Chain A
């Protein structure tokens, strides 16, 4: 007799296996479990609620269509996160092509601005409440250009190595290092600035 899968208590692996057999209800359970994480990553990169919802939705449709390619080398959540990151990067590249780069962005790409920034000696986030800290970090991230924000997210939150980031973003390791350095330095300045504003 065929065993009936209890979707709510099944593991991700069991749900993935069922979804690969065209069990749409199993896939719905996977969406329910990971939808916030996928949306959060889309939002952190796009910085726009509506666009983030659309990209997250597209990522889930792609996930369903490409389930056969999922080999289980990483967790299902990580695999889905990679899909949404790639979709966000595609979207951001399209957006960038439509507008002119600012002088500041060009300087950032050349890697000269961060050298002029003074080192922030004090820890700007010391003794901050967790919620307050998250809010400040989110505010500072929003002020970075999408290239710097993306490299920081991929390194600090997704824990990707330089090589992997370079592959994902389609640039050299040197560019990744330079962007990461700038992003970190700018974050230090922004977090310190936000504290001083109080």
Chain B
């Protein structure tokens, strides 16, 4: 006998049989779908199958002795525990030491950087003024004072200065070419 029920109705009927529907919907199915000829036939088939399966699963037993099966489990447990404890094979003591030191070094670097940044933000001053020589021939120097938010740039002709005072390390001919004001506006002097 072929059922003319819609697939959704068949699934709903099954859900009703399995007690998966909310009370209101279950009552509707019981009064409607379950009472039809198709519904009754399908329900009978589903019930027969469920009843046949219930408590009739084939009694399979492990085809290995207790001792042998346990010995395999025990060995695997020991092997996996050892793999967790043991470092990866093939690494020299130096490589293992390096592996330990890399995270420590990274941590130390981050700590130092954070310390310097914190100190800088707390004091509000730059403990080391920055000087930079841009070119040997031109003889350009910059001085950045973070406390005053000011940058000073010196331009000088080094060759001329060396001729005039060969032993002098600081050139007397240096001149302030431009000064950045605290607000960032260039201030030529």
Interface residues of A (CB under 8 A from B): 24, 28, 31-32, 35-36, 39-40, 43-44, 49, 53, 56-58, 60-61, 64-65, 111, 114-116, 118-121, 123-125, 130, 133-135, 137-138, 152, 155-157, 161-162, 177-178, 180-181, 184-185, 187-188, 191
Contacts and interface: CB of A to CB of B under 8 A. Distances in A.
B50 A184 contact: yes
Contacts of B49: 184-185, 187-188, 191
A32 B60 contact: no
B76 interface: yes
B44 interface: yes
A190 B55 CA distance: 18
A178 to B, nearest CB: 7
B20 interface: yes
B163 interface: no
Nearest to B81: A65
B73 A61 contact: yes
B62 interface: yes
Nearest to B52: A125
B17 to A, nearest CB: 10
Interface residues of B, number: 40
B45 A188 contact: yes
Contacts, number: 127
Nearest to A174: B11
Nearest to B4: A115
Contact of B1 (A53, A65, A118): A118
A123 B57 contact: no
15 contacts: A24-B77, A35-B66, A39-B61, A44-B60, A53-B69, A61-B77, A119-B42, A121-B1, A134-B58, A134-B59, A156-B50, A181-B10, A184-B45, A188-B45, A188-B49
Residue with the greatest number of chain A CB neighbours at <10 A, chosen from B45, B54, B59, B66? B45
Closest 4 CB pairs of A and B: A138-B58, A125-B52, A39-B62, A40-B60
